[in-house]
Amino acid sequence: MPAPLKIRLTPEEDEQLLAIKTNLKISKRTRERAEAIILNARGWKVTEIANYLKCSPNTIRQNFYRWITKGIEGLSDAPRTGRKPKWQEEDIKFIENCLEKEPRTYNSYQLVEKLKEERSVCLSRERLRKILKKKIGGGKELNKV
């Protein structure tokens, strides 16, 4: 059986962790890691924390190791790998300018073709619509797509 782990927090660290734990804008996993550290500092054992957070005791120990080695930065997830986007922010600005300045309206097929011809960016119309919805929102420009 592994040796019991006990984390001691300074008042400043305790305050920071409580702020992270209660901030809903921070990812759930980061908040749970902060909560695990707080619970351990308050006397909870690894198995109790694991049962409470519904995860493996090894996960809790890894969280503690990340806290010990990296501090607050260790609570956040590492960047994930994945394919780079086919489009750049400038491509979306180009589309926004077309929608604002040109007197005509475009449908998604026409915008895809315009991007392909003028910017050499190949996107499906569904993907373009999702990007525009996310970037532009529900404004009047989106109604033209």
Q: For the segment 15-55, what is each residue's pLDDT rounded down to a tens digit? A: 999 999 999 989 999 999 999 999 999 999 999 999 999 99
Average pLDDT over residues 74-96: 84
DSSP classification of residue 75: G
Q: 16 and 70: one domain?
A: yes
| pLDDT value of residue 141 | 46
Q: Which of 71-75, 88-92, 106-110 has the highest mean pLDDT?
A: 71-75
The structural domain count of the chain equals 2
Max intra-chain CA distance, the chain? 73
| pLDDT value of residue 79 | 81
CA 20 to chain CA mean position, Å: 15
Percent pLDDT > 90 in the chain is 44
Average pLDDT over residues 69-82: 87
Please tell me the number of Cα atoms within 13 Å of 37 on its side-chain side: 29
| pLDDT value of residue 108 | 85
Task: Answer whether 145's CB lies under 8 Å from 107's CB.
Answer: yes
Q: 17 and 44: one domain?
A: yes
Domain holding 42, by residue range, is 11-75
Q: How far apart are CA 34 and CA 107, in angstroms?
A: 47
Q: 70 and 18: one domain?
A: yes
Q: Is the pLDDT higher at 86 or at 13?
A: 13
Q: 103 and 68: one domain?
A: no
Average pLDDT over residues 61-88: 87
Q: Is the pLDDT higher at 131 or at 55?
A: 55
* Structural domain contains residue 5: no
Q: How far apart are CA 71 and CA 21, in angstroms?
A: 15
Residue count of the chain: 145
pLDDT confidence bin for 137, thresholds 50/70/90: low
